[in-house]
Structure 1
Amino acid sequence: MVIGRKIKRKHPDIPLIFLTGFDLPEYRLQAKKMNADGFLNKSMKPDDLRDALQTIIKTGSSPIESEITILTKQEKRVLVLLSKGYTQNYIASELSVSRRTINNHVQAIHEKMQVNTSIEAISEGIKLGIISLLDN
């Protein structure tokens, strides 16, 4: 994604298209934020890929469909820190908020992700691309 931002900054007229096997809502959102011209799944049929690329060439871009991000930026930070094994007390200290605030964030994460435990939330966070296993 960092390379994509640099390309778009230096050459805004060059179409930026993501072709990925990781078709995650969080990745789509990031591509959309950097004004990418397309976000395509590499498992799509060759004819569909050709058609999508032709559409982007003709129109200049293809709308990037993305699910509404269900977690706030702060909730994502809390979830990532939980995935690293940190306690709520440590996270509160790290983010300069009260333990009660962190507990409220955790409860909101559980409700929004429709899970009962932080382990389930972390698992969903991985599936959505919010948590990267490489960063832990």
Structure 2
Amino acid sequence: MSLRIALADDQALVREGLKALLRDLDGIEVVAEAEGGEELLAQIETTSPDLVLSDIRMPGVDGIELTRRLGEVRPDLPVILLTTFDDAELTLKAAEAGARGFLLKDVSPEELEDVIRRVAGGETVLQPVTSRVVRARYAYSDDRVPVEGFSPREIEILRLLAGGYSNREIANTIFLAEGTVKNYVSEILEKLETRDRTRAVLKAITLRII
């Protein structure tokens, strides 16, 4: 079964280049393309893609807003954002919006394919954010690796949290009771010494736990 991609970039040349690259990859098909987020949202309703690959900076509905809106209507649909800017703030915004991947446009074709397949498989692959930037914005008490490690189940739940899933959606995805998921999330927050899900995800990404 092919992996169906929806593609958005306001630069036609970049969009055509990405399409050509994706066509050469086994089992990957571009089923929708647009020059902006609003247009792509409309196409997603009729094309049912498995993953969205979008530029982060576009006129109108940009990649961040596109990701937020998809989180409301299609929380199961992973988004990878691309940018020409090496900006830690953009990475943080992408994570907050629910993006599952964040890459610079100078990434190699091999790296892009690897990230697409990993994100489609449920992983979160965001460009590392320096702990200095995270601490300045979110005031973590420290950036030490938690003393207590994380179980495979907790890592799985952290990745779903990074994708913007609610406790109920996580429960349905991994076949657990919603109350059990809530307990896992509480344990994760305690281990990471964070008070909410967004900070937990950002700290986990910063420390490369996910």
What's the TM-score, normalizing by structure 1?
0.47
- So what's the TM-score if we normalise by structure 2? 0.32
Q: Which has the larger radius of gyration?
A: 1
Which is strand-richer, 1 or 2?
2
User: Greater helix percent: which structure?
Assistant: 1
